[in-house]
Amino acid sequence: MSSEYTRERKRHVVFALDELAPGTSRVAELGRRRILVVRDENGALHALSNLCPHQGGPLSGGSVERMWEADRPGEHRRSASRTVAVCPWHNFETDVSTGCSVWEPRPLRAATYRAEVEDGDVVVYV
Ligand code: FES
């Protein structure tokens, strides 16, 4: 892992893209921070705090999956575009793109960070 500063955030090369298959996640430990890096099933990268916005559970201990959506009761399907991290403590779902809790009406939100692919590596700006 290597790091350098940019104007606004510190740049961290966290792992090779090959080490993060679509539909999976890994934790990057950056100093005292633990960042959950997600590559969704469409291949897009997301980075957010590993602390659940509900009560601080470790999001990396749960699952990462496409969000369930429904137009009416009794009919549901997996979202084509939204991915959530499901916390192992109380099953709250956090949208990995926004860091927002899906079900909690209060504004619960995990910090999110920019994640890019650069020269075959996953780079996170924290
Ligand atoms: S701490 Fe994550 S759902 Fe409660």
Question: Model confidence over 9-62: pLDDT tens digits?
Answer: 899 999 999 999 999 999 999 999 999 999 999 999 999 999 999 999 999 999
Q: Could you tell me the distance, in angstroms and rounded to a whole number, from the CA of residue 83 to the centre of ligand 1?
A: 17
Radius of gyration of the chain from Cα atoms? Answer: 15
Question: Model confidence over 107-116: pLDDT tens digits?
Answer: 889 999 999 9
The count of structural domains within the chain is 1
Task: Supply angle C-alpha 110, 111, 117, rounded to 5.
Answer: 120
Verify whether ligand 1 is closer than 6 Å to residue 62 (CB atom): no
Give the count of beta carbons closer than 10 Å to the beta carbon of residue 33: 16
Verify whether ligand 1 is closer than 6 Å to residue 103 (CB atom): no
pLDDT band for position 103 (cuts 50, 70, 90): confident
For the CA of 59, the closest atom of ligand 1 is: 2
Looking at residue 104, which CATH number applies to its domain?
2.102.10.10
Structural domain for 60, as ranges: 2-67+80-125
Q: Is residue 75 part of a domain?
A: no
Q: Is residue 95 part of a domain?
A: yes
Q: Is residue 73 part of a domain?
A: no
The Cα 120–Cα 126 span in angstroms is 19
